[in-house]
């Protein structure tokens, strides 16, 4: 199914009439974070990454007038049908909620009370600990399957695959105290992604996700066993590329493992 099949856009006249003028103007920009979340949710839905209301996307408005603004899709909605006015807007560093979809005209929203995504504290961890510009959470089957195949391991590792070059090379800078991008990974580099254990409630993953982010300064993602993956990047487009490259590598790794092929070449172990 192509992304263009989700023809659920409200008619322009209905939206223009119902939305406050200020918001209507704001959403005219196709690159507005709220519009990009809708666009990416539809793309990701088609990849089976955010089906059944699972997963989520959040974007920090790094190119906008206030880079501390974070847009987050709400909890429990069908991600492929989401509209820009259904986002929560939070301001860093205090995580103050500035706007919720519950304030929108009722004719444009669902009949229930919107709740912030359960992923919110996890997304915030990526912004505060890594200065990320966007964070993506999917329930990708490849991500889930690799954590099952790496049953007793707390990391997933892979090397000598061309697609690794799409991932950033990161290094902890002792002077700034921050993890910085120093380039891209190379073909022979070993990619290491930490795996944390799942919890009954998404928000309870926060402590172990933060610990993994701190313990693995080279990573741009954390796998959650039997659940999915969190991926972040310096911009929304970088996060999208990293997520796609990682999912490719995870899908390949699952096939390699099932075929009895080690995911790390002998000389790099
Ligand atoms: Zn999840």
Task: Please check whether residue 74 is in contact with residue 115, taking contact to mean a CB–CB distance below 8 angstroms.
Answer: yes
- The rounded Å distance from CA 213 to ligand 1 centre is 17
- The rounded Å distance from CA 243 to ligand 1 centre is 15
Task: Indicate the average pLDDT of the chain.
Answer: 90
pLDDT at 2: 44
- The rounded Å distance from CA 40 to ligand 1 centre is 16
pLDDT tens per residue, range 211-269: 999 999 999 999 999 999 999 999 999 999 999 999 999 999 999 999 999 999 987 54
Taking phi over 0 as left and psi of -120 to 50 as alpha, with beta for the rest, 53 belongs to left
pLDDT at 15: 62
- The rounded Å distance from CA 229 to ligand 1 centre is 8
Cα 119 to Cα 156: distance, rounded to the nearest angstrom = 22
Delimit the domains of the chain by residue range: 1-117, 139-269
Q: Which whole number is the average pLDDT over 18-37? A: 88
Whose structure tokens read 């929203």? 109
pLDDT tens per residue, range 146-182: 999 999 999 999 999 999 999 999 999 999 999 999 9
Catalytic residues: 162
Q: Exposure pattern of 198-227 as b/e (b: 16+ CB <10 Å)? A: beeebeebbebbbebbeebebbbbbbbbeb
- The rounded Å distance from CA 67 to ligand 1 centre is 26
Task: Please check whether residue 157 is in contact with residue 263, taking contact to mean a CB–CB distance below 8 angstroms.
Answer: yes
- The rounded Å distance from CA 224 to ligand 1 centre is 9
- The rounded Å distance from CA 186 to ligand 1 centre is 30
> Is 139-269 in CATH node 3.90.25.10?
no
Task: Please check whether residue 124 is in contact with residue 95, taking contact to mean a CB–CB distance below 8 angstroms.
Answer: yes
């Amino acid at each position: 199914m192509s992304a263009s099949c989700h023809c659920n856009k409200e008619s322009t006249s209905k939206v223009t009439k119902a939305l406050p003028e200020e918001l209507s103007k704001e959403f005219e920009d196709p690159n507005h974070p709220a519009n990009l979340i809708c666009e990416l949710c539809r793309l990701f839905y088609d990849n089976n990454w955010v089906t059944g209301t699972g997963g989520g996307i959040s974007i920090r408005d790094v190119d906008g007038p206030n880079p501390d603004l974070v847009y987050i899709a709400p909890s429990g909605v069908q991600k492929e049908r989401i509209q820009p006015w259904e986002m929560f807007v939070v301001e860093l560093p205090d995580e103050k909620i500035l706007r919720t979809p519950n304030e929108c005209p009722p004719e444009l929203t669902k009949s229930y009370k919107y709740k912030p995504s359960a992923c919110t504290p996890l997304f915030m961890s990526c912004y505060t600990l890594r200065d990320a510009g966007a964070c993506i959470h999917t329930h990708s089957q490849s991500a889930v399957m690799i954590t099952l195949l790496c049953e007793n391991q707390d990391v997933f590792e892979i090397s000598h695959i061309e697609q690794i070059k799409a991932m950033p090379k990161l290094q902890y800078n002792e002077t700034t105290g921050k993890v910085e991008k120093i380039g891209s990974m190379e073909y022979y580099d070993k990619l290491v992604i930490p795996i944390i254990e799942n919890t009954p409630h998404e928000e309870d993953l926060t402590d172990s996700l933060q610990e993994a982010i701190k313990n693995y300064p080279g990573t741009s993602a954390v796998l959650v066993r039997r659940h999915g993956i969190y991926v972040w990047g310096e911009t929304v487009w970088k996060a999208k590329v990293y997520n796609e490259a990682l999912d490719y590598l995870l899908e390949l790794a699952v096939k390699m493992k099932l075929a009895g092929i080690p995911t790390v070449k002998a000389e790099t172990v």
